[in-house]
Amino acid sequence: MITTEASVQSRHGAPDVARPLDQWRECPDCGLLSTLPEMRPGLVAECPRCGKTLWRMRRAPFSFPIACGLSGLLFYTYALVAPFLEISAYGRFQLARLETGPHELTLHGYTLLGFLVLAVTAIFPGIKLGIMLLTLFGLETRTVPSRLMIALFRWYARITPWSMIDVYLLGFLVAYTRLAAIATVHLDTSLYALVGLMIAMAAADGAMDTEAVWRALERAKVHTDERYHQHHPEVPWPEDAPIANMSTEGVIGCHTCHLVNRAVDGDLCRRCHTRLHARKGNSVSRTWALSLSAVALYVPANIYPVMQITQLTKTTNYTIFGGIQELMAYGLWPLAALVFLASITIPLAKLFTLGYLLVQTQRNSPTHLNGRTRAFRVIDFIGRWSMIDIFMISILVALVRFGQFANINPYSGAPCFAAVVILTMFSVITFDSRLMWDAPRRAAPAAPAPERGAPLSQSSKGVPA
């Protein structure tokens, strides 16, 4: 990594504690307080302790994501109304839209599962697109009230992992190979819209500079407040938090917009109005509760069949592992390996890793902190890909309805498996990885504190993107 001139200056420059609070960052992964280097487009600020990206400054923070978001919106609207797959067999014909699978699951009595599939494939992607476009357009045109934009944009990062068009398309791929074995399959136009939507959303995510958006939102709010006070001089101007700060005591990094606030637990962030907490509340016990529930459900999810295929007089029940064996029997090894990875390996790896992280945190272990933080990032990233099998089932159930000739029905293992995926995703959300870095200090309180309470001498590293 080449260190740029800008970051060299900031690392050896004036004492960092004298710099304004909005130049500070609390690393969301390790909790280290540092100051940002002098940023410029194309530069990435990284945490000096764990390497977490703190700010990737983009050259076009608004125009390119707006372009991606608009094309995504066109694809999304089309994908909502048009079918993406049609099959014909036994002289009959079926087609599937995004909502067909969830509707069929509901008809079979799996209402929650149906709603889950509908939410992550149709509702959340739409909400995410809406939040992005409304905020960015609002900032460009100054037509949307700043407080509304702030209230909405708070949800952007939270909703992102639950928008699963990319995972759905992999589930579609597995469903397609299975359908091809029993019927004539035609890809429909909406499938290309879904692929377009996936690409547009990935490009928008990659180009989105959330820090630039938050800074613009803050400026817009100040502008609105100034106008309000011009018209209502009788209302006292709210006292601002002091900007220059000389110590790291009593500061909390906002977990939504990442602004460092001079605050105590329970105060509101002065930029995004999220309630501030130095650490996530009851993180360890809540993560244990969610992970152990997932372990308990992992057993029925693998023992009970997830679907039932009836062809003429023959009825076969498929567990998750049985489905993988069937793919292998067809000779579809890469697909079998993919489903094995997503449905068996990833949930197990997540549960074992979470258990290990929790035990090490409770033991106040000082070892392998960087490795544990990296493991946590990996399970955070891969968790949602386990939904492949659930999406495959929802597509098969939607299409294979040929009366007495062939039918595919969901079975009780499916909601159990979906619950395992959702519970492990929530347990990653509730786990606060900063506790791992706090733990060695808790165990040895006499040791010099490396971050909170110590003079702030570290500056984030800036590296070219």
Residue span binding Zn ion (CB under 5 A) among the ranges 11-19, 122-130, 226-234, 246-254: 246-254
- Calculate ∠ Cα 360-377-121, nearest 5°: 130
Residue span binding Zn ion (CB under 5 A) among the ranges 25-33, 145-153, 180-188, 336-344: 25-33
CB of 282 to Zn ion, least distance (A): 21
H-helix or E-strand containing 296?
helix 283-303
| Residue closer to Zn ion (CB basis): 209 or 389 | 209
**Would you tell me how many other CB atoms lie within 10 Å of the CB of residue 392?**
27
CA dist 90 and 290 (Å) reads: 46
Residue span binding Zn ion (CB under 5 A) among the ranges 92-100, 168-176, 193-201, 251-259: 251-259
CB of 349 to Zn ion, least distance (A): 23
Find the binder of Zn ion among 54, 96, 136, 272 (CB under 5 A): 272
Please list every residue from 33 through 62 that binds Zn ion, using CB under 5 A: 47, 49-50, 52
| Residue closer to Zn ion (CB basis): 100 or 248 | 248
| Residue closer to Zn ion (CB basis): 121 or 256 | 256
CB of 35 to Zn ion, least distance (A): 13
Residue span binding Zn ion (CB under 5 A) among the ranges 21-29, 165-173, 244-252, 296-304: 21-29
| Residue closer to Zn ion (CB basis): 104 or 218 | 218
| Residue closer to Zn ion (CB basis): 51 or 196 | 51
Which is nearest to 27 in space by CA: 371, 321, 452, 389?
452
Residue span binding Zn ion (CB under 5 A) among the ranges 15-23, 61-69, 270-278, 300-308: 270-278
| Residue closer to Zn ion (CB basis): 79 or 220 | 220
Find the binder of Zn ion among 30, 392, 408, 414 (CB under 5 A): 30
**To which residue do tokens 């709010």 refer?**
221
| Residue closer to Zn ion (CB basis): 97 or 255 | 255
| Residue closer to Zn ion (CB basis): 257 or 354 | 257
Query: Which string of x and - marks every residue 149-188 that binds Zn ion (by CB under 5 A)?
Result: ----------------------------------------
H-helix or E-strand containing 86?
strand 85-89
CA dist 358 and 290 (Å) reads: 12
Burial 151-162 (b: 16+ CB within 10 A, else e): ebbbebeeebbb
Helix 210-231 / helix 124-141 crossing angle, nearest 10 deg = 50
Give first-to-last CA distance, the chain, whole Å.
10
Integer CA distances (angstroms), 381 to 7, 162, 375, 411, in order: 29, 12, 10, 28
Residue 66 corresponds to which tokens in the numbers above?
A: 């707006």
| Residue closer to Zn ion (CB basis): 43 or 388 | 43
CA dist 306 and 285 (Å) reads: 31
CB of 457 to Zn ion, least distance (A): 15
| Residue closer to Zn ion (CB basis): 47 or 306 | 47
Position 7: which residue type? Answer: S
Structural Rg of the chain based on CA atoms: 25
- 210 Cβ contact partners less than 8 Å away, ≥ 6 residues apart: 156, 157, 257
Total residues in contact with Zn ion, by rule CB under 5 A = 16
Residue 187 corresponds to which tokens in the numbers above?
A: 């890809």
Residue 271 binding Zn ion, by CB under 5 A: yes
CA dist 408 and 29 (Å) reads: 44
Which is nearest to 50 in space by CA: 81, 23, 77, 28?
28
CB-CB contact of 24 with 262 (8 Å): no
Residue span binding Zn ion (CB under 5 A) among the ranges 103-111, 256-264, 380-388, 455-463: 256-264
CA dist 131 and 128 (Å) reads: 5
Residue 254 binding Zn ion, by CB under 5 A: yes
Residue 133 binding Zn ion, by CB under 5 A: no
CB of 185 to Zn ion, least distance (A): 48
Residue span binding Zn ion (CB under 5 A) among the ranges 23-31, 219-227, 231-239, 375-383: 23-31
Find the binder of Zn ion among 19, 26, 27, 72 (CB under 5 A): 27
Alpha helices, H only, 82-188: 100-107, 111-118, 124-141, 146-153, 156-159, 165-182
Find the binder of Zn ion among 33, 133, 182, 269 (CB under 5 A): 269
| Residue closer to Zn ion (CB basis): 254 or 406 | 254
Site residues (vs Zn ion, CB under 5 A): 27, 29-30, 32, 47, 49-50, 52, 254, 256-257, 259, 269, 271-272, 274
